[in-house]
Structure formats: C-alpha cells, structure tokens
Structure 1
Amino acid sequence: MAAQAQAGSVQMPRGFQDADEVLPTYHIEAQTSLVERPLRSLKFGEAFGVLDSYGDIGVQPGPEGLYFQDTRYLSRLEVTVEGQRPLMLSSVMQDDNGALSVDMTTPDIRLDAHDETSIPRETVAIERTKFLFRGTCYDRIGLRSYDAKHRRLRIAVTFDADYRDLFEVRGTNRTERGKRGVQVTSDREVQFRYVGLDEIVRTTAVHFGPTPDRIEPGRAEFDVSLPPGGRVSLFIRVVFESHRAFTKPPAADMVGEDAAARLTLAANGGGPVRHPKGLSEGTIFARAYRDQRRDQREMTAGITTIISSNDQFNEGLCRATADLYMLASRTPEGIYPFAGIPWYSTVFGRDGIITAMMALWIDAKFARGVLRYLAATQAKTVDPAADAQPGKVLHETRRGEMAMLGEVPFRHYYGTIDGTPLFAMLAWEYYAVSGDMETIRAVWPALELALAWMDRYGDRDGDGFVEYARDTDKGLENQGWKDSHDSIFHADGHLAKGPIALCEVQGYVYAAKHGIAKLARLLGDDVTADRLASEAEALRERFDAAFWNEELGTYALALDGAKKQCAVRSSNAGHALFTGIAKPERAARVAETLLCKDGFNGWGVRTIAQGEARYNPMSYHNGSIWPHDNALIAMGLARYDRKAEAARIFQGMFDTALYQDQKRLPELFCGFTRRRQRGPVSYPVACSPQAWAAAAPFAFLAACLGLELDHDRNRVRLNNPILPAFLDGVTLYNVRLGASRVDLRFQRHADDVTVSVVRRVGDVQVVMTK
C-alpha cells in the first residue's frame, strides 16, 4: 500500500535522497519565477519573443528575448523617455495573438535637476504595437501630446544581442563560445554579428525610423518635438538571419539532409522580407502588419468554432484557439504545432501528436501536418547518441549552437518511448475524421516501420511490452511524457531501474495496432489486419495481468527491468482508459482512484497521488497538474461512459483558467489542495502558451459531449452528452465531415442535454445515443 502523508508533505525513506543531490541533466534552472511578473509571448515560424508587459526585453533577469532557431538574437531592448520608463496603463495581447498592444504615458519628468523645469505626468500618451512576421520583429511607438505647451522629449532605445543558446538561458554553463561583434552600419542601422563554434553566422540588424539623432552600438536616441496635439511615430525593426560561414553557397542537397532545416524556409516564408529601397519604416510596418493578418486568416479559414452561454469560457476558447495557431509553424509537410514558449518552441513528436489528437475535430490539418512531418523525419538507422533506431519517431529537433555541436543531443533526438505508437495511433484517428486516404498512403511505409520498431526495438526483452532505456548517458533518463529524472519510482520511493515499461505506453501500442489494423483492412490487407488485431488483444490480456494492482485499485505506474510493479497511484492509469486497453470491469475502480481526494485536488488530477513516497505538489511530474494529462483522462472516462467524472475534471480546469492571465491554461501548475477563496498555485517555470494545454479545452468539451466523427459512415455521433454546471448551452459551428458541414446546438436542462441541428450542408447524419 502506498505510504500515506499529509497534504504538502514529502515522506521518503532513508537511502534514496542521495539520487537527488546532483541537478538532473537538462534541468531548467529557476532563480527567478516566471510568475513574478506578467510576460508576453509572440511567435511566427521559428522566431518567438518573450517580452515584459512594456514590450521591453531584459530590463530584469529572466528568459526575455527575441529568439530564432533556439538562439537569443536580441537580449536587451528598453525604451525610455528622458531616462525613465513610461507609466503603464494597459498591456494586452490582441485577441488573435497577432500583436502586443501597450498603452503608456509619460511619468513626472524633471528636465533639469537645478531648476523647476518639468513635465507633469500623463501629458503624452504612448501607444506601442509589436509583432513578429517572417524572421523580423516590428515595433511601433506612437506618441501623442495632450499638453497645452510645445514639448521636446528625448526618447532612447537601449539594445543588445548576447546570442545565448536556449539551453544556456535555461541554465547550462558553457566554457567556450564563438565571436561576437557589433557595428553601426548606417545612420539608422546597427548590426550584431556572431560567428558560432558551429560555423554558423548569426546576425541581428536593428533598423530605426526616422533617422535617430544619435546612434551608436547598443543605443539610439531621438529628439522628439511635440506641439500641442502633435503626433510622432518611431519604428524599430529587428531582423534576424543565419547562414553557414561558407566561402561559397552550400550545395542544395546539404540543406535537405538536416531534419531541423526542413522548418526554415517554410516557417519563415523564405526568410525575412526584402523591402524595396526608399520605403519608410512606417510603410514597411504597415505592409508587414497587413500581410501577417492575412496569413493568420488563411491559417484559420474554415475551422470549427464554438460559442457557449458562458462569456468567460468563450474568452478562454478564443485564447486557446489563438495560442494553437500562433504556435503552429509551416513545414514542407504542412503545419506543425510547436510545443511551447519559452523552453520548447520547436518540433516535439509527442506534443505535436497529442495536440493534433485533441484538436482533431476543430481542424484536422494539424494531424495531417504532424503525420507527414514525422514520417519524413523518422529514424532510418541505429544512432545511440540520438537514441535512434529504424522506424522510431522524432522526439525533438533543435537548431541552436549547442545542438549543432553535440553539446546537447537534441539536434535530431529520438529519445521518446511513446512517440512512435502515438504516431501510429494518430494515423487511424486522423483517417476516421478526415477520410484522407491520400495522406495515409503517403505515410504508410512510415507506419509499417513504426510497427516494426515497436516489436523489434521497442520490446527490448521479448516479453510483449514496449520498454525504454537510454543508449548513452547524454540521453534522457526517462523517456515517457513524465521525463523528469525522478518520475518513475517504486512504492518506497526508490527510482526504478530499466528497461522500464510504462503503463500508458502499452495502451498507446494497443490503440496503434487496432487502428493500423483498420487501415490495413481498408487497403485490402486482411492478413495484416487480422494479425495486428490479434496482437492488440493479446497485449490487453498481458497488460491486465502484469499492471493491475488490486490493492491500489488501479494500474501500476510501470514495470521495472525485473518486471516488478512500480506500485504507485498515478495519472498514467487514466491513459489506459483513453486508449481503451483497460478492461471494462476495471474502469470504475480506475476512475474512483483518479478522482479520490488524494488524486483530484479540486482543480485537476495530480500526476502522482498525494501520499505516495515522492509526492510533491511543487514538482514537475510528481504531484503537479497538467491540463493535457487531465484532458486525456477525461477522454478516457468518456470512452467508458464515465461522463460525470469527466465533467468534474472539466469544471476544475475551467475554474483554473479563470485565475490565469488571459484565461490561458498553462503547461502545468502545482498540486496543492484547493482552498476556498484562493486560486490554484502556479508552477514557477511553466511554459505559457503550451500547445497541448491550448488544445485541452477542446478535448474536454468533446469528451463531455461524447462527440465522435466517422467519415466512412458520414456520421456525427453524440454518445450520452452532458454539460458541466458552468455551461447552460453550447453551439458548435462548422463541424466538418468530408464535404458536409453541420452546426449543432446543445442545451442543458438539469441533468439532461438536448441537441438541435441548426444548419446542415450535405447529407451528414447526426445520431445521439444514450
């Protein structure tokens, strides 16, 4: 039986604390909390920005900066008026995340310390608009005088570029770095240049308009004249680029062989926009703003939208939608949702797949892009340094100097045990909604390789379970979604020794084989279909025998290398419901354990139940709460028609969002028990936005509605729909199935829900079952 502990305490037996004395590999160092002050995020393609609420960068220590290809291309940017920061009035991300809008005003200004010359506060309004588009950050600072006197103000811009690799920003120390230089290249431009040890030249060009009155490396000043009612606009344009330090251009085939390089041209539209000479910075800003808006409209055209009876829920859904499409980047294979800002703004296999699954019913093109990209970058050879074997799906890819040099193994890293079965699982889920057999045929060879990997390399000891163990000491110690060094442990708290078979991974393999069996049958291969279906059912029996723990009332977290259960109550068991590997007779017990007071804290289901040996509500994976994890659990509960429990989790997550900046669900938050008149406790270095957290509200809603889209039957099925207490009604607009479209309205009447078809285009059937 799991050791019992009071809420918030950590009870650990002697002897295993020593494992925690050294910081784990690739630890995100936290000397300041991202919760201390509101940060703002911008992203386009491979570029992203982390800004303070003023739109400035680096005024205080932290992760702020403009980043491109995992490198900080601008580490400082501060705008002052007569040497002082303006007074903040408001700072908001626009509803579609397209730009940051900041309203400020001048503070009380003493122009000369020796006399009484001064400008009272609130005489000049300052409006700042900032956005990213195609490898460039655009920044407009508009000033308008409401003073009766003519005023002259000195506006200074201080800036710098440190070219720190993202892993350095996260806390990794380096003994050697490349060479950095800076020069004033014209009366309105300063350029920073960094030649890395990887022989990549990275440049940051800072352009100003109009021409500054004074310019030097790291600083530009404007003497602004403002008559009564006068207006002035200043523009800052930051362009970041990289290229190899070749004496001649590289051969075309050199670009295509790098998995990460597949992103660059598509994600940034071929690189920064080249503007004709003679254009003013104001015109350049306006054209870029227009083109960025057009790009956003194209990306979101035709998606399913949702309007509910709850205005706050509507705001949260709008932010979640905006976050999903901001994090989406174009690749040659289609759009791919990058994992999160600031630490994971790149391709992650697992994150992209799960995000695509949860968003499948609102926009299937996420799944198409993920499938095609991961098929194109699938491992073809054995490479221990990258934890790669033929057929394995990419875990993450990085473009920074440390990755290019091998100082971290993530240039093309395959150290994930669940990405490959999830990839195969997504293929069937995508087809069921889209009917896109063209994509299935295109990725079919990759699906066959993925299945072969599961049986050959995934099952290391031939026992029928898929296990992991890293191939070198540079790889990740744990390779499931809970990949902290201490996240897989036994009931007494000792860390499990591998190879480790995770509970949820067996479920992914089960669902993958069932799904690919259905696709094989559609392709006319009944032999393969029968074999895979039989293997899936045999796995289900083995799984139940090996993982079920009657005393815990749930499935064990994992099996260690000796096939001993990690007898720990965890959220992982909820994924067994999500995939369908759990036997129906186990579902009620699993649900009860997940939703008991030790598992469910009032906001969500904890990753590890309170009372387990390594439970810590402030840990990354051992007691915290992750929205995407809870969404998958809710989908699993709905699969077994445990809708009331799914709605309870949905309610907790909605309540959580009400306390978050911009009503945005974060990557994770702490697992402390919910207390009256207090919100959830934030995690200090959580990403926000995070793709699978952004997709979670759509998964919660679909789970409660019992929404199933079946392309081949041309049917929308609603299996015993319910709505949580905070929703009286919901309307889904433009639910797509093949060439058909349908709008559905749900209305709650006490414990019952009625459904109306508001609009139907095509012959799609809508069926509700109880």
Structure 2
Amino acid sequence: MSDQSAQRGSEVEQARRLFVLMEGDTFVVADAYGDMGGQDDGLFHNDTRIVSRYRFTVAGKRPALLSASVSQDNVYFTSHQTNQPLPRLGESTTPEGVIHIERKRFIWKGYVHERILLANYSDQPTEVPLGLQFGADFRDMFEVRGQQRAHRGAQEHTQMAERSVTLRYLGLDEQQRRAAISFSEQPVELSEQGAHFRVALEGRGSWELYIDIGPEPVQSSRSRYRQAAAQARRSMRKRQRRGAQVKASGRLFQAWLEKSRADLALLTAELPTGPYPYAGVPWYSTPFGRDAIITAHQVLWLNPELARGVLSYLAQHQAHETSSFRDAEPGKIMHETRKGEMSVLNELPFGRYYGGVDTTPLFIMLAGAYIRRTGDVAFINEIWAALQNAIHWVEGNAERNAQGFISYARAEASGLANQGWKDSHDSIFHADGRTPEGPISLVEVQGYAYRAYLSMAELAEWRGESDKATHWRQRAEQLREAVEKHFWLEGRQFYALALDGHGESCAVRASNAGHLLFTGLPQPERGQAVAQQLLSRAFNSGWGVRTLVPEAVRFNPMSYHNGSVWPHDVALCAAGMARYGEREGVVRLLGNMFEAAAHFGMRLPELFCGFERAPGEAPIAYPVACLPQAWAAGSVFMLLQACLGVEIDGHAKRVVITQPRLPLGIDRIQLRQLRLGDQSVDLVFQRLGERVVAFVEGHSAVRVDIRL
C-alpha cells in the first residue's frame, strides 16, 4: 500500500468516530470533520433532531483531516484540517497542505456556536471557495432510532435573510420547531440547502467565520462567540468543582478520574429542582429514574448535592394515578420522560413512563443513603409524603405475591416487556431458554425492596415514628427470609436470576446477584460464595464482570444484556463484594475497569462486549453504546470508595475507613474538601510497603475512625 493510500485509510477511519457535545437539553453528534450526515448523528433539542445534515467543503471537496478532539472539560469540539490543491489567483495551483482550517464549536443556552478559521501558510494569495450544506428532517428521537410513523407533520416555508436561514417544521402536536443558521459574513449564495462563500486569502493571511445554530436568527460575531464561550466554560467549571476532589499519584489514573468527573458535569442538567444527571448521549439524553438514582449513589460520598437534586425531581414527578399505557400506579417513581413529538402525541408512552419495577425502591434507598451521608432531616421532611407514597406502592405490589416479592408485568404491549435494569426483551429467561410467564420477580429488586424497608425504618426513627419503624423492619426481615428460601440455588451456591409468575426459578447465574450483595440482604457465607463466583473466570472476562456466564443458554458476548460488560454493573457488584469483606477482588475489578478505560480514551462506554480478554488485545466495543453515559462515568467513584473502605456518617460528622486498599499501581490518593455539613476534612491514603495507611491531612473537627 502506498503512503498516500495508508494516509487516506487512516483519515477515513478517524472520520468515522463520532464526537459529542451537550448542554442542557441540546446536544450535537458529529464526525471528526464536525459534519453530520443524517444517520445516528445530528443536532438535537428536546428529543428532536433539528439539524440532520451539515457538511463543510472547500472547492466542493472535503478538506484533508488532521485531527479532532473534545477538550478535557467537554466544552469544545475542535477539528483541524488542511486544503486539497486549490486554484490560485492566476493559472497555477495552491499546493496541498498550506491552508490550515480549524473548526471549533461549543453549545450554550440552546445554540451551537461555531468558528471556522482559515490560515494561509503560503506566501501566495489564493481564493478559497467554501460551502456549507445543511438540512433539517425534524425527526423525533425514536424515529432516528428506527421507529416508523404512519404520519408526520409538515415542513413549513423557509425564512431567508441576508445572513441567516430558518428551517421550520409544524408537528402533528401543533408545535413549531425551528433551526436558524446565522453567519457573521454574508454568503455570496444562500438557499435553504446551503451557503457559499468566496474568501480572498492573502499570503500569510487569515480569515474567520462565525456561525450560530439555534431556534431564532441572531447577529453572529466574534464578540458573541467569545462571550458565550466564557459563560459555557464558567458553567462547566462550576459543575466540575462540586463535591470533594480526588487526586491520585498515577497520571493516567488521574486522567480517568478527571474525564469521568467532566462527563458527569457534561451530562448534568441544572433543573429547577437541582442538578440532575441525564442518562447518556445520544439515545438517553433525558431524565431517567433508575440511571440517575444509581449515578447519584455512585458519587454520594463525594457529592451529596446530586442525590438531593435527583430525589427532589423524582418526588415532583411521582405517579398519582393509574395508567396502563404508562405503566403508572400511585406512588411509582418515573422511569423515563421525553419531550419529542411522538411522546407528546402519545404515539409512545414515554412522555412520562413508569415501567420500571426497581426505580421506586431505589428512590427510597437513595433517600436513606442521603440522610446517612448528610443528616439532612429537613430535606427528608420535604419529600416525606413522596417517600410514604413510594413505600405504599412497594407494599401494595408485594401483597399481590404470595411470598411478598416485588414483581412486574407490563400492562400494554407498548410498554417494556422487562422492567428491571436488564430491560431488553430477551434478558430474563429460564435455564432451558424458555421465556418466563409473568409477573416476574427479579432477584436484585427484592434486595432493593429489602433496603427500602430498612431505609424507611431508619427515616421513621429520625422523625420519631417508632411504630412505623418497627413495621418496616419486620417487612424487611420477612422479605429477607423469603429471598433466602426461594431464590437460593443450593447446588450452584448462587441466587436465581428471577422467579416467574408460577414461582419457578429462572436458575440462571447472572450479575444481578451482585446487586443483592450491594443491598446487604444475603447471609454472610452466601454473600461470600456469590462474591467468589463473580470474581471467577466464568463471570470475569478479564475486563470486568459479565452480565451472564457463558454456560447460560442465551449467552452472547455481543448482546446488550446477555454476556456484555456494563461498568455500572461491575461497580455495584464490587461495592457488594466490599460489604462482604472481599477487598482484594474489588482492587482487581477496579484494575480491570481502569485498563478498559485506557483503551476507550479514558472514558468508559455504557457497555462493551464480554469476550474473554486476550493477551495484547483491547476490549471489544459495543457499536451503538452511549458515550458518555452517566452511570458508566460514575462507576470509578463507586469502585474507588469500595477500595478505600470509606463510609460517612453526616449526622455524627464522622468518617469510618475500614481496611483501605489502593488501586494497582497507585501509591497515594488524596481526598480534598470532603464535606460533612459545615465541616470538611482532607484525607490521604498512602502505600507503605505491603500496607496502606490512611490519615487526616491538616486540622479538622471531623472525627475519622481508621480500622486497618
């Protein structure tokens, strides 16, 4: 292969990468050039793709790609390109590679702000013909994902001005959606399909164009770009500074921590109820219940403000009526909400959908963990009615089952067939491959309900309601005994994945049992037996815990839920292992995740394939995984807490550190400004030979108990 062919091949491969920017309810997915082609990419706002096609050309061709990246803080996307040969003012040709083209963009307050900068490194002047082709299909997010619609709204007349084009669409919901594209320079040609410029570029000269894309035309300019950029960076810095800071001695490990924190900041929207992490880009850039609760739990020890924002939002959006279409019942906590045309029209139930059996007990679990972390009784009192409604739903659901288990069965065919975190249609099955009949009781959901009962008992005690506390403790113990009796597979020394509507076990070994450890339900010897199996080769691919063992009849390492590796799942399993004293295994899993992150650009995807790790090879990507994904980004912090053995009692203003471990290759970790109410403490974990010691740095009124 020639050098030129190899270069072109590398350029094509790099161009296939997709890059994401997001701010609030607006996000853009584009290739390495910064272009969008109308496949899985585009500019989206409120679950609608408002720009589907956006392509930049020089003399009718794509420039040559040099590099592309998103800044470490996730604010800027930058693509560096250079020219193909261009006709000069005269008869000869401008050499290739003498004009540098930089495309730089960010999002702020619903607008994409872009700057295109040309710099001529030749002594000769040249005329550069530039083109921008654009279009808007205004497709709902579910259409982009492949959903078919019998009818759509209508494209309306395009509004034209000297320096702007406004594309318009009137949906069947009577909402007008717009994409206005504004330019700082007047194009020589402008239409509803594109804009063309002729740039007279002097030798050693430069030229710049500013573009704004949003709901209304604006006066694009350098000053507008710079002012918005400053605001966007300030906002991102503020979000990233929330909570305690973690500093590690290893440069690459620190890069993973910083990228994970930046991804969480990117995905966190500032809602009236407080900060809320959207699930992931591109498919889940919206409030989800389960994802947000688990993400908040992952970072609770460092940043309890996120948990407060999640609890507040979900309390406000709790179900108060029964709807089979939305799988809603009074007291249930929201699974998902959408703002697109199809959801507004009820073509799909996801405008506000409650089809998650686990979200309600998880909500209560998070409230209990939040008050232990903060001692914030006043906030719990604010949402106490929502918590009572939630536990009443849990108890009401349990009463439908002879053993008191929490179960699900979708009410209508439009809803989700499976309603735990593994919600794909084929993820729950019997050992022989049969699909179980409902209602289905998932093993991890029983753990969540057990912990929810205990959390309500604790919260009731804080409020001085001892009778209620006693009642919920009894419910917790009854459920624990029933799980141990009906889910435990003695021959396999493991818990069944689920029970079907007839009480028959889905005798499948799945990672769901690791979540049960996280809740603390299993008796010690069983918990330890499960932990050892989760660390065995059957589960651990070498990159992390797989969702399913290879012996399972539906095992497929390339599937969504039946054999893949999900970082958040690994983190919950690891936190469960730590609860049962398995510290060294947690260190191994953290090492697995770190090594995987290094292959994915220090950013863990939503999931990746569960193939066995091979020497010298990278983990295999799952092609359509969300990246970034909130609970994948938060996983490192839950894994690290499990390693360090840190527990925080906000009421007593006390930190307990039990048998701390450091990640492999890391000799020192500092926790700075770990806040407990109005006090804070700085902690250091240091490797000394074979031991890890922990100590307080500086002076603090916070009590720290260290149990080595």
Alignment correspondent of 1:62: 39
For the residue of structure 2 that corresponds to 1:317, the secondary structure is: helix
Report how far residue 233 of structure 1 moved.
0.9
Alignment correspondent of 1:11: none
Q: State yes or no: 1:588 paired with 2:563.
A: no
Rounded Cα–Cα distance in structure 2 between residues aligned with 1:195 and 1:596? 56
Rounded Cα–Cα distance in structure 1 between residues aligned with 2:436 and 2:698? 55
Rounded Cα–Cα distance in structure 1 between residues aligned with 2:104 and 2:400? 54
Alignment correspondent of 2:8: none
Rounded Cα–Cα distance in structure 2 between residues aligned with 1:633 and 1:705? 16
Alignment correspondent of 1:91: 68
Number of residue pairs matched by the alignment: 696
Structure 1 counterpart of 2:166, one-letter code = Q
Q: In 1, are the aligned partners of 2:567 and 2:635 still within 8 Å (CA)?
A: yes
Report how far residue 750 of structure 1 moved.
4.3
Q: In 2, are the aligned partners of 1:82 and 1:111 still within 8 Å (CA)?
A: no
Q: How does 1:489-568 map to 2 (within 5 A)?
A: 489-568=429-508
1:289-342 deviations in Å (ceiling 9; x for gaps): 111122223323442111212111111111111110110112111111000001
Report how far residue 188 of structure 1 moved.
0.5
Alignment correspondent of 1:295: 235
Alignment correspondent of 2:338: 398
Alignment correspondent of 1:80: 57
Higher RCO (C-alpha 8 Å, min separation 6): 1
1:100-125 deviations in Å (ceiling 9; x for gaps): 1222221233579xx96321122111
Alignment correspondent of 1:109: 86
1:214-272 deviations in Å (ceiling 9; x for gaps): 1111211111121122121101100137xxxxxxxxxxxxxxxxxxxxxxxxxxxxxxx
Structure 2 counterpart of 1:687, one-letter code = C
For the residue of structure 2 that corresponds to 1:527, the secondary structure is: helix
Q: Given the superposition, is the C-alpha separation of residues 459 and 168 from structure 1 closer, same or farther in structure 2, using an over 3 Å criterion?
A: farther
Q: State yes or no: 1:132 paired with 2:72.
A: no
Q: In 1, are the aligned partners of 2:245 and 2:672 still within 8 Å (CA)?
A: yes
Alignment correspondent of 1:461: 401
For the residue of structure 1 that corresponds to 2:252, the secondary structure is: helix
Provide the identity percentage: 44
Alignment correspondent of 1:38: 17
Alignment correspondent of 2:226: 286
Q: In 1, are the aligned partners of 2:111 and 2:213 still within 8 Å (CA)?
A: yes
For the residue of structure 1 that corresponds to 2:526, the secondary structure is: helix
Rounded Cα–Cα distance in structure 2 between residues aligned with 1:540 and 1:189? 64
Alignment correspondent of 1:424: 364
Rounded Cα–Cα distance in structure 2 between residues aligned with 1:213 and 1:669? 47
For the residue of structure 1 that corresponds to 2:670, the secondary structure is: strand
Rounded Cα–Cα distance in structure 1 between residues aligned with 2:241 and 2:153? 44
Alignment correspondent of 2:515: 575
**Which is further off, 88-97 or 116-125?**
116-125
Q: How does 1:19-34 map to 2 (within 5 A)?
A: none
Alignment correspondent of 1:672: 611
For the residue of structure 2 that corresponds to 1:220, the secondary structure is: strand
Q: State yes or no: 1:344 paired with 2:284.
A: yes
Report how far residue 35 of structure 1 moved.
10
Structure 1 counterpart of 2:415, one-letter code = G
Rounded Cα–Cα distance in structure 1 between residues aligned with 2:357 and 2:690? 41
Rounded Cα–Cα distance in structure 2 between residues aligned with 1:363 and 1:72? 33
Among candidates 233, 241, 245, match of residue 208 of structure 2: 233
Alignment correspondent of 1:153: 128
Alignment correspondent of 1:764: 702
Q: In 1, are the aligned partners of 2:403 and 2:482 still within 8 Å (CA)?
A: no
Structure 1 counterpart of 2:508, one-letter code = V
Report how far residue 185 of structure 1 moved.
2.2
Q: Given the superposition, is the C-alpha separation of residues 69 and 371 from structure 1 closer, same or farther in structure 2, using an over 3 Å criterion?
A: same
Alignment correspondent of 2:6: none
Structure 2 counterpart of 1:39, one-letter code = L
- Any unmatched runs of 5+ in structure 2? 1-12
Alignment correspondent of 1:48: 27
For the residue of structure 2 that corresponds to 1:417, the secondary structure is: coil
Rounded Cα–Cα distance in structure 1 between residues aligned with 2:114 and 2:120? 20
Rounded Cα–Cα distance in structure 2 between residues aligned with 1:622 and 1:712? 42
Rounded Cα–Cα distance in structure 1 between residues aligned with 2:574 and 2:647? 14
Rounded Cα–Cα distance in structure 1 between residues aligned with 2:452 and 2:476? 8
Structure 2 counterpart of 1:575, one-letter code = H
Report how far residue 280 of structure 1 moved.
5.0
For the residue of structure 1 that corresponds to 2:119, the secondary structure is: strand
Q: How does 1:406-421 map to 2 (within 5 A)?
A: 406-421=346-361
Rounded Cα–Cα distance in structure 2 between residues aligned with 1:184 and 1:525? 63
Structure 2 counterpart of 1:362, one-letter code = L
Rounded Cα–Cα distance in structure 1 between residues aligned with 2:123 and 2:607? 51
Among candidates 319, 332, 339, match of residue 272 of structure 2: 332
1:414-466 deviations in Å (ceiling 9; x for gaps): 00000000000000111111222222111110000000000113543342110
Q: Given the superposition, is the C-alpha separation of residues 750 and 482 from structure 1 closer, same or farther in structure 2, using an over 3 Å criterion?
A: farther
Structure 1 counterpart of 2:595, one-letter code = D
Q: Given the superposition, is the C-alpha separation of residues 144 and 459 from structure 1 closer, same or farther in structure 2, using an over 3 Å criterion?
A: farther
Q: In 1, are the aligned partners of 2:32 and 2:79 still within 8 Å (CA)?
A: yes
For the residue of structure 2 that corresponds to 1:448, the secondary structure is: helix
Rounded Cα–Cα distance in structure 2 between residues aligned with 1:300 and 1:63? 28
Rounded Cα–Cα distance in structure 2 between residues aligned with 1:729 and 1:240? 49
Alignment correspondent of 1:119: 94
For the residue of structure 1 that corresponds to 2:114, the secondary structure is: strand
Structure 2 counterpart of 1:62, one-letter code = Q
Q: In 2, are the aligned partners of 1:35 and 1:682 still within 8 Å (CA)?
A: no
Q: State yes or no: 1:634 paired with 2:611.
A: no
Structure 2 counterpart of 1:293, one-letter code = R
Q: In 2, are the aligned partners of 1:35 and 1:684 still within 8 Å (CA)?
A: no
Alignment correspondent of 1:731: 670
Alignment correspondent of 1:720: 659
Q: Given the superposition, is the C-alpha separation of residues 454 and 711 from structure 1 closer, same or farther in structure 2, using an over 3 Å criterion?
A: same
Rounded Cα–Cα distance in structure 1 between residues aligned with 2:393 and 2:689? 50
Rounded Cα–Cα distance in structure 2 between residues aligned with 1:167 and 1:318? 32
Q: Given the superposition, is the C-alpha separation of residues 494 and 760 from structure 1 closer, same or farther in structure 2, using an over 3 Å criterion?
A: farther
Rounded Cα–Cα distance in structure 1 between residues aligned with 2:100 and 2:148? 43
For the residue of structure 1 that corresponds to 2:139, the secondary structure is: coil
Among candidates 745, 754, 758, match of residue 684 of structure 2: 745
Report how far residue 749 of structure 1 moved.
3.1
Q: State yes or no: 1:167 paired with 2:106.
A: no
TM-score (norm 1): 0.88
For the residue of structure 1 that corresponds to 2:634, the secondary structure is: helix
Q: Given the superposition, is the C-alpha separation of residues 768 and 159 from structure 1 closer, same or farther in structure 2, using an over 3 Å criterion?
A: same
Rounded Cα–Cα distance in structure 1 between residues aligned with 2:28 and 2:658? 42
Q: In 2, are the aligned partners of 1:615 and 1:622 still within 8 Å (CA)?
A: yes
Alignment correspondent of 2:187: 212
**Which is further off, 439-448 or 429-438?**
429-438
- Any unmatched runs of 5+ in structure 1? 1-33, 242-273
Rounded Cα–Cα distance in structure 2 between residues aligned with 1:280 and 1:70? 26
**Which is further off, 724-733 or 90-99?**
724-733
For the residue of structure 1 that corresponds to 2:215, the secondary structure is: strand
User: What do you get for the CA RMSD once the two structures are aligned?
Assistant: 1.6
TM-score (norm 2): 0.96
Q: Given the superposition, is the C-alpha separation of residues 546 and 135 from structure 1 closer, same or farther in structure 2, using an over 3 Å criterion?
A: same
**Which is further off, 298-307 or 547-556?**
298-307
Report how far residue 43 of structure 1 moved.
0.7
Among candidates 609, 630, 633, match of residue 691 of structure 1: 630
Structure 1 counterpart of 2:395, one-letter code = D
Q: In 1, are the aligned partners of 2:377 and 2:462 still within 8 Å (CA)?
A: no
Q: How does 1:348-363 map to 2 (within 5 A)?
A: 348-363=288-303
Alignment correspondent of 1:304: 244
